[in-house]
Structure 1
């Protein structure tokens, strides 16, 4: 509902037809598609919409979520040199990576089975990943 409320105006159909797809259903079909990676036909079968309707809902929802007024509420990127340098310094102090401006991307790393230092394979949320099953 939070996501839908952010973009409800952009997703509300201007048509007078009785069967217009509700903004909630557009968001649900988009999130389902993005989360599962299923083809649109599967989402349409699961949600009772036609494949073209799912395609249109996904396009409308992603377009609405990509609007600057929405994006800027959640993604902040330094645009001036002093701010960028401050972020680089802060990240270097936290993680030891030079030249990094942001820290919002989570990259899954599988612990190699031969590793004896599991602590190196812990992300910033203190989440450790499974060991790999392949031998090095």
Structure 2
């Protein structure tokens, strides 16, 4: 009985510690880090935030998990309604005279801290820094419709595309519906690349 009491007490103390940083400060810390595009030390040492670098790491993980779980599903939707596709096709046609286009795809390198020594070769890109090769699809409003950030920079854009869920979604589209990509992507039924 006493052991049970001590366990419940320690879990209560743990809960109090984890919530010692107010949610607004956690959000500000994460936003500061994302706005700077920098490392955590600058965000933690900020006069208004005053958090240690290890605390910033914990806060970032917590806030980004919430963003991924609750906000991303509301705003990043790969599947388009028929109305959205038709609006996109009209817009692309008016701007470029290219029929049937609903979006564009490209890869970008997102810089990361050098990984462990035995993995560094996988993340060192052709530009000389460590990164992830992130595939992004957007519509005519520049709204992000799909993101795949699972792969290291040693992987080619076509590799990331071929293993993505988005490729499967494209195969479900009607005839004469396309996305545009650069020469890093394969020419396919629903993916148009330059000739």
TM-score by length of 2: 0.39
Q: From 53, 56, 60, give the equivalent of 2:55.
A: 53
- Corresponding residue for residue 140 of structure 2: 103
**Distance in 1, Cα, partners of 2:93 & 2:18:** 58
Deviation of 1:54 (Å): 0.6
Please state whether the residue corresponding to 1:15 is helix, strand or coil.
helix
Q: Contact conserved, 1:43 with 1:54, CA < 8 A, in 2?
A: yes
Instruction: Calculate the aligned-residue CA RMSD, in Å.
Output: 2.9
Off by >6 Å, runs of 4+ in structure 1: none
Deviation of 1:100 (Å): 3.3
Please state whether the residue corresponding to 1:57 is helix, strand or coil.
helix
Deviation of 1:94 (Å): 4.2
**Distance in 2, Cα, partners of 1:19 & 1:72:** 26
Deviation of 1:64 (Å): 0.6
Deviation of 1:104 (Å): 3.6
- Corresponding residue for residue 93 of structure 1: 93
- Corresponding residue for residue 147 of structure 2: none
- Corresponding residue for residue 78 of structure 1: 79
**Distance in 2, Cα, partners of 1:76 & 1:95:** 24
Q: Which runs of 5+ in 2 are unaligned?
A: 1-13, 104-138, 144-195
Please state whether the residue corresponding to 1:100 is helix, strand or coil.
strand
- Corresponding residue for residue 64 of structure 2: 62
**Distance in 2, Cα, partners of 1:58 & 1:89:** 38
Q: Paired residues, what number?
A: 91
Q: Which runs of 5+ in 1 are unaligned?
A: 1-13, 107-136
Alpha carbons of structure 1 residues 91 and 18: separation in structure 2 relative to 1, 3 Å: closer
TM-score by length of 1: 0.53
- Corresponding residue for residue 33 of structure 2: 33
